[in-house]
A and B are shown apart, each in its own frame.
Chain A
Amino acid sequence: MRKVACIGAGMTLFWRRLQETGKEMCWEAASMALDQAGLTLKDIDMVVLGSAPDAFDGIHMKGENLLDGAGGAKKPYMRVFTGGGTAVFTPIAAWWHIASGLANKVLVLCEEKMSSVFPHPQSAFGHIWDPILDRPLKPNLVWIFAMEMNRYMTKHGIKKEDIARIAVKNKRNAVDHPCAQLPDPNITVEDVLNSEVMAWPVQRLDISPPSDGASALVKTSEKVAKKVSDDIAWVEGTGWCIDKTMWTCRDLVFPEYVARAAKQAYRMAKIDNPRKQIHVAEPYDPFDYKECHHTEGLLLCDKGKAPSMTKEGITYRDGDLPICPSGGLLGVGNPIAATMGIKAGEIYWQLTQQAGKRQVKNDPEVGVCQAWGDLMQYGSVLVMRRG
Chain B
Amino acid sequence: MTFLERSRDPEAHKHWYGDMEASYLYSTGIAGEKFFSTLRDKGKITGASCPKCRKVFLPPRMYCEICFSETKNWKDVGKEGTVETYSVGYVGIDGEPLDEPVVYGLIRFPRTEGGLVHVLSVKPEKVKIGMKVKAKLKPKKERKGSILDIASFG
**Residue positions of A touching B, CB distance < 8 A:** 12-13, 15-20, 28, 31-32, 55, 58, 60, 115, 118-120, 122-123, 126, 131-134, 136-140, 142-144, 146-148, 150-151, 154, 196-202, 244-249, 252
A20 to B87, CA, bound (A): 37
**Contact status of A198 and B90, CB under 8 A, knowing A147-B106, A154-B129:** yes
A247 to B58, CA, bound (A): 11
B10 close to A151 (CB less than 8 A): no
Asked if B117 lies at the interface with its beta carbon under 8 angstroms from chain A, I say yes
**Contact status of A199 and B91, CB under 8 A, knowing A16-B8, A154-B85, A244-B65:** yes
**Contact status of A137 and B114, CB under 8 A, knowing A132-B32, A150-B129, A200-B88:** no
A150 close to B85 (CB less than 8 A): yes
Smallest Cβ distance from A148 to chain B, in angstroms? 7
Considering only residues 33-64 of chain B, those with a C-beta below 8 Å from chain A are: 36, 57-59
A9 to B5, CA, bound (A): 22
**Which of A32, A122, A147, A247 is close to B93, meaning CB atoms less than 8 Å apart?**
A122
Smallest Cβ distance from B86 to chain A, in angstroms? 6
A248 close to B4 (CB less than 8 A): no
Proximity string of chain B (133-147) to chain A, C-beta cutoff 8 Å, 1 when within and 0 when not: 000000000000011
Smallest Cβ distance from B25 to chain A, in angstroms? 10
Q: How many A-B residue pairs have CB under 8 A?
A: 142
Proximity string of chain B (112-154) to chain A, C-beta cutoff 8 Å, 1 when within and 0 when not: 0111111100001000010000000000000000111000000
By a CB distance below 8 angstroms, the chain A residues around B10 are 17, 115, 118
Asked if B9 lies at the interface with its beta carbon under 8 angstroms from chain A, I say yes
A122 to B18, CA, bound (A): 18
**Residue positions of B touching A, CB distance < 8 A:** 1, 3-10, 12-13, 18-20, 24, 26, 28-29, 32, 36, 57-59, 65, 84-95, 102, 104-106, 113-119, 124, 129, 146-148
By a CB distance below 8 angstroms, the chain B residues around A252 are 84-85, 106
**Which of A133, A151, A197 is close to B84, meaning CB atoms less than 8 Å apart?**
A151
A19 to B105, CA, bound (A): 40
By a CB distance below 8 angstroms, the chain A residues around B129 are 150-151, 154
**Which of A58, A132, A154, A197 is close to B18, meaning CB atoms less than 8 Å apart?**
A58
A209 to B5, CA, bound (A): 19
**Contact status of A247 and B1, CB under 8 A, knowing A122-B93, A142-B91, A147-B105:** no
By a CB distance below 8 angstroms, the chain A residues around B29 are 132
A120 to B124, CA, bound (A): 26
A136 close to B94 (CB less than 8 A): no
Q: Can you sample 10 A-B contacts with CB below 8 Å?
A: A18-B4, A19-B4, A28-B3, A58-B19, A132-B28, A134-B147, A140-B92, A146-B89, A154-B85, A198-B90
